[in-house]
Chain A
Amino acid sequence: NAGVMQNPRHLVRRRGQEARLRCSPMKGHSHVYWYRQLPEEGLKFMVYLQKENIIDESGMPKERFSAEFPKEGPSILRIQQVVRGDSAAYFCASSKPGQEIAEAFFGQGTRLTVV
């Protein structure tokens, strides 16, 4: 079991470009959570998805940010027209479906730098 895989590990984008961050959950996991972490700060919840459904996107900015988790393939966090303030580490975590209590495991994160 390869664990939660995120790519790329590092991403540099110029202001105004688009950033696409990918997260492949652990085998058998169909719940995905995305978090943003600024340097020396905590994990800020962005969005919680299950396969083909957004369950809770209350932490995601209304503009420029979107997330999806298609039936096939990884979950994608998309940031359009990036600005310097988007620079952060973005972590995803995954958990198993169908359990009352589900442990969540994190990927290595994608460090986005906007120049």
Chain B
Amino acid sequence: GENVEQHPSTLSVQEGDSAVIKCTYSDSASNYFPWYKQELGKRPQLIIDIRSNVGEKKDQRIAVTLNKTAKHFSLHITETQPEDSAVYFCAAQNTGNQFYFGTGTSLTVIP
């Protein structure tokens, strides 16, 4: 089955700096890669996603890149703000509609 690895597990950045979270996957047939943000005590919320026929997608301060050859994808947050502090999960969806999640990155933005 699919195996998704996520790094780093914790990340601290100064407000205004950029944050990058990286994930790798093992199943070359996976074709959809969402990212979720989970604030303390709340549900994971979909913040951005990318499909296998696209290399990059951007939504305001958030961008995601995908390298199919290397089987890795990354989340980039620019101009970080304290409200970006949360746990971020990457996931990969295979052709059977099953989702496999990374272990999460706890991001702290220091004011």
B69 at the interface (CB under 8 A from A): no
Contacts of A43 in B (CB 8 A): 44, 89, 101, 104
If A42-B89, A93-B99 touch, whether A101 touches B44 (CB-CB below 8 Å) is no
CB distance from A49 to the nearest CB of B (A): 11
User: Interface residues of A toward B: which range?
Assistant: 20 to 34
CB distance from B97 to the nearest CB of A (A): 6
Contacts of A103 in B (CB 8 A): 34, 46, 49
Residue total for B at the interface (Cβ-Cβ under 8 A): 25
CB distance from B45 to the nearest CB of A (A): 7
A33 at the interface (CB under 8 A from B): yes
A56–B95 alpha-carbon span in the complex (Å): 13
Interface residues of B in 46-85 (CB under 8 A from A): 46, 49, 51
- Beta-carbon contact of B93 and A108 below 8 Å: no
Interface residues of A in 5-34 (CB under 8 A from B): 31, 33
5 nearest CB pairs, A to B: A42-B103, A101-B32, A106-B43, A42-B104, A43-B101
